[in-house]
Amino acid sequence: MAAIDDWMKGDGTDALQGTDSASSIDDNVTTYIQDPLNILNYGYRRLCTVTYASASSVTVSVGEIVCRNNPNTILRMRKMTVSQTCSTLDTGALSNDQTYYVYITADTSDTVFSAIITLSTDFPAGITYARKVASFTTDASNNINSDSLVQEDTATIQSSLGDWVTTGFVGDTAYQADSDGFVVVRCNGGASKVVTGYTDSNATPTTAVLAGSSGTSAGTHHGITMPVKKGDYWLIESEFDSNWIRWIPLS
Measure Cα distances from 87 to 120, 152, 177 in Å: 16, 18, 25
Q: How many CB atoms lie within 10 A of CB 163?
A: 9
- What is the per-residue pLDDT for 64? 92
Among candidates 230, 236, 220, which has minimal Cα distance to 184?
Answer: 236
For the CA atoms of 217, 218, 221, 222, what is the dihedral angle to 10 degrees? 60
- What is the per-residue pLDDT for 1? 42
As a whole number, mean pLDDT of residues 32-50 equals 88
Instruction: State yes or no: pLDDT of 3 exceeds 60.
Output: no
- What is the per-residue pLDDT for 94? 98
Q: Which residue has the higher pLDDT, 87 or 19?
A: 87
Q: b/e map of 177-193 (b: 16 or more CB within 10 Å)? A: bebebbbebbbbebeeb
Please provide the average confidence, as pLDDT, over all residues in the chain: 89
Instruction: State yes or no: pLDDT of 123 exceeds 70.
Output: yes
Residue 159's pLDDT band (cuts 50, 70, 90):
low
- What is the per-residue pLDDT for 207? 96
Beta strands in 88-231 (DSSP E): 99-105, 114-118, 129-137, 150-151, 175-176, 181-188, 194-200, 208-213, 221-228
Eight-state DSSP code of residue 26? H
Instruction: State yes or no: pLDDT of 19 exceeds 70.
Output: yes
- What is the per-residue pLDDT for 39? 85
For the CA atoms of 9, 14, 15, 16, what is the dihedral angle to 10 degrees? -150
Residue 218's pLDDT band (cuts 50, 70, 90):
low
